[in-house]
Amino acid sequence: MKVTIFGTGYVGLVTGTCLADVGHDVVCVDIDPSKVDGLNNGIVPIFEPGLAPLVKANHEAKRLAFTTDAASAIAHGEVIFIAVGTPSDEDGSADLTHVLKVAATIGTHLARPTVIVNKSTVPVGTADRVHAAVAEQLVQRGVDVEFVVASNPEFLKEGDAVNDCMRPDRIVIGTGSDYAVQQLRRLYAPFNRNHERIVVMDVRSAELTKYAANAMLATKISFMNEIAQIAERVGADVEMVRQGIGSDPRIGWHFIYPGAGYGGSCFPKDVRALANTAKQNGYRAELLESVEAVNERQKSHLFDLIVRHYGSADALRGKAFAVWGLAFKPNTDDMREASSRRLLQQLWDAGAKVRAYDPEAMEEARRIFGDRSDLMLCGDALTAVRGADALIVVTEWKTFRSPDFQKLSLTLGDATVFDGRNLYSPKDLAVHGLGYYSIGRLSHS
């Protein structure tokens, strides 16, 4: 099928590439000419495992094209996806400027029956607004073209997005139009083999499904972080508690890992936006507000543990901390709302120095923080600990899982590790004479 995708960000690029890979003829549109130039020359602007070779192969096979020319791209697509960003407004609600701008552009050029699909994460009711924005342009042009606006939310995890796209556990299609269902079934047929993954529903339920999924996962994390806080106070070990509850299939093993708080471009923004939607509709979503509040507090927890160890924030002045992990999670270079950002700021405010290393996010860190005398971006994990007083682990990259504790003990000035992801066994660190603080477990120094 002929497919057009607006937005070559994370969602648009992964979706477009996977659709091309199964044989569709895909054109991706972006307003940023340098991005489009780069993509046409094989430069993929994000780090996502497996994506770059797939972009290259499909681009070379002429199934995947990139352009800034919206008019020709709109003429191309039988199905047109909107996959542009929906950042948070100041009040936490989703900013629809980009989505509605694309809708107006589509209305300016649309000339034949088309299914327009919202893939961006958008508040309930957005499909109606997109419909109105397209229709307004058609009226201005004095033309009558049939079109449907459907919702088809994405469930891609950064770091595993290609896999999630190629092997979806469900494909949610929200529309009241049989024609749209038929078109989207054809489009997704290659991903819907062996068993039925397509769930068809009305458009508002599909829009809400996306938020409900992310809010549920964020709730599980905040819940476990709250249990971790309680565990620390009552002398229990949250890792034991996790193992004790995860085996209950009603609870499950996923997303019950306590840590330094959730980050990224989705959970924080989506929990806030859903709470906001509730408020605008006369309901105070107290649970969602608490999920967000617990996460905000959790992002400061590592710093609190550090202050507790050193006796006061003043005692951190002049200290150097090695920080392992800057990305909001492993296998990505994304630092949006990453817990590391809060921690680094707190350390700098206290007058401490940071020696940081992340396997993928160094360039992003350089872009965000620029040159500063209290930040040393190090080429590897060992260089980061050299000359540091203590080590702080913020992201659970595999490469940080089994360091040489003996070496750490000899290298770190204060022989102390603050572990924001519970990667290590307190016993192992004690054997090597390392002080150890983690999340929801008894600390020793």
Query: DSSP assignment, residue 55?
Result: H
Residue with Cβ nearer ligand UGA (262 or 436): 262
Residue 342 interacts with ligand UGA (CB under 6 A)?
Answer: no
Q: Is 250 labelled a binding residue? A: no
Q: Is 86 labelled a binding residue? A: yes
Across the beta sheet with 375-377, the strand order is: 375-377, 353-357, 320-324, 390-393, 416-419, 435-437
Phi, psi angles (nearest 5°) of residue 419: -110, 105
Residue 329 interacts with ligand UGA (CB under 6 A)?
Answer: yes
Determine whether 378 is an active site residue.
Answer: no
Place of tokens 């492993």: 330
Question: Per the structure block, which two tokens stand in for 265?
Answer: 């471009």
SS3 268: helix
The one-letter code for the residue type at 418 is: F
Query: DSSP assignment, residue 351?
Result: T
Stretch that binds ligand UGA, among 98-106, 122-130, 135-143, 154-162 (CB under 6 A): 154-162
Applying CB under 6 A, among 81, 321, 328, 437 the residue interacting with ligand UGA is 328
* Stretch 344-383 residues interacting with ligand UGA (CB under 6 A): none
Residue with Cβ nearer ligand UGA (154 or 237): 154
Return d(Cα 58, Cα 69) in angstroms, integer. Answer: 20
What one-character-per-residue DSSP string does 17-86 give?
HHHHHTT-EEEEE-S-HHHHHHHHTT--SS--TTHHHHHHHHHHTTSEEEES-HHHHHHH-SEEEE----
Say if residues 396 and 328 touch (Cβ distance below 8 Å): no
Stretch that binds ligand UGA, among 16-24, 137-145, 149-157, 401-409 (CB under 6 A): 149-157
Residue with Cβ nearer ligand UGA (310 or 397): 397
Residue 324 interacts with ligand UGA (CB under 6 A)?
Answer: no
SS3 83: coil
Residues in Cβ contact with 326 at an 8 Å cutoff, skipping those fewer than 6 apart: 335, 338, 340, 356, 358, 361, 362, 364, 365, 394, 395
Residue with Cβ nearer ligand UGA (155 or 348): 155
Closest CA to 86 of 132, 33, 124: 124
Angle in degrees, CA 385, 391, 394, rounded to 5: 115
Q: How far is the CB of 121 from ligand UGA (least distance, A)?
A: 6
Query: DSSP assignment, residue 320?
Result: E
Length of the chain: 445
Applying CB under 6 A, among 156, 231, 378, 439 the residue interacting with ligand UGA is 156
* Stretch 250-309 residues interacting with ligand UGA (CB under 6 A): 255-257, 259, 262-264, 266-267
Q: Is 121 labelled a binding residue? A: yes
Residue 155 interacts with ligand UGA (CB under 6 A)?
Answer: yes
Q: How far is the CB of 112 from ligand UGA (least distance, A)?
A: 31
Residue with Cβ nearer ligand UGA (110 or 266): 266
Q: Is 407 labelled a binding residue? A: no
Q: Is 329 labelled a binding residue? A: yes
Question: Per the structure block, which two tokens stand in for 44?
Answer: 């993929």
Q: How far is the CB of 1 from ligand UGA (least distance, A)?
A: 23
Residue with Cβ nearer ligand UGA (156 or 385): 156
Task: Give the residue ranges of the annotated binding site.
Answer: 30, 35, 86, 121, 155-158, 210, 255-259, 263, 269, 329, 336
Contact set with ligand UGA (CB under 6 A) = 121, 154-158, 214, 217, 221, 255-257, 259, 262-264, 266-267, 328-329
Residues with catalytic function: 266
